[in-house]
Structure 1
Amino acid sequence: MTFDDQVSPLGPRPLAGPALAEFFARDAVSVASELIGTRFTVAGVGGRVVETEAYRPDDEASHAYRGPTARNAAMFGPPGHVYVYRSYGIHWCVNFVCLTGSAVLIRALEPESGIEDMIGRRGMADIVSLCNGPGKLSQALAIDISLNGCSLDHAPLSFSLAEPVPVVAGKRIGITKNVDQLWRFGAAGSRFVSRRFS
């Protein structure tokens, strides 16, 4: 059975337990592409994943490149858990852990549920700008270091597969090493991505 076969015709179906671990215990680049169109919520607030970036353990741009540390320990933990870190000392960013030392950064969501909560947290009503960047979506979903290492199948987190959508790829954003890899993925034509794909 493929992961596409597990999608309910009635809508997104939460992944949990062994099925969740199986989905994420794969190469981060493959997972990053397949995450486009899935649903992610925190305490019921969230939406459809429309942009991701993959990071492998042998990737110089990855936090895991120099091995385990106190900060990146979650990247070396079980697949299907989250790795949360603070970017530039300002913004929280959330990643989904894949094979050991690899993860996928969730760059943008299309808001679907809890939009009023997102508006209150972000202090703005422009739905397109609520979650179109990793720091923005973490603020909108109230993600912080308290969720670091948590499993995607335990409250308040929820992750669901959904019908596949057309995916485009491009170079990752905001890195200075290993810059030519096409490891950023997005929902084709989505207005909710952080930066358009050329």
Structure 2
Amino acid sequence: MHYFEELVRFLLERDGFWARTSHRVNLTKEEKRMIGRPSSPRPEIDVLAYHPRENVLLVIEVKSYLDSPGVALKHIDAEFVRGEGYRLFKDEKYRRILFRRLKSDLVDEGAINGTVSLVPGMVVGKIKGDEEPLERFFAQRGWFFWGPSRLVEKLARTADMGYTDNPFVYAAKLLIRNGFRPNR
């Protein structure tokens, strides 16, 4: 999963974001009790992406699921019990507490300002079924979403970059220059 998160970070940086992967949120013992997880380790955000001009911080859950059936909308539905990895989207109290602590820590660190808007998001490498219901679900909430089609499109565009020592760009150049064309 590390390389998939790095791919997402790379593509976001191409879109003008400052990004970091595997960011741990320093919830206090009291905050952990408030979310019903008093003994849990610190939550980890797969990708944080800050856009200075927009003053927005994306808090992104990344799921490759390339060799599985993929993410389905029902997994993110608040009524679906399994899939704790989707808590960021299903549990408003958890999200509120997590975002408050994350924002406070990042402001103290000097990484963001206090007026930044935090937006949950998801990047998915494989979706079970059609992408459109997931895209609509996230758009209706004002949340960030990239599905496989968007990822392929963004990665394909890197093939036009000049020389760079980056494995993602190499892979894109090999595919595009040898006839592969994304569907979208």
Q: What band does the TM-score fall into relative to the shorter chain?
A: under 0.3
Q: Select the structure with the greater relative contact order (CA < 8 A; seq sep ≥ 6).
A: 1
Q: Is the radius of gyration larger for structure 1 or structure 2?
A: 2
Larger strand proportion, structure 1 or 2?
1
TM-score w.r.t. structure 1 length?
0.26
TM score, norm. by length of structure 2: 0.28
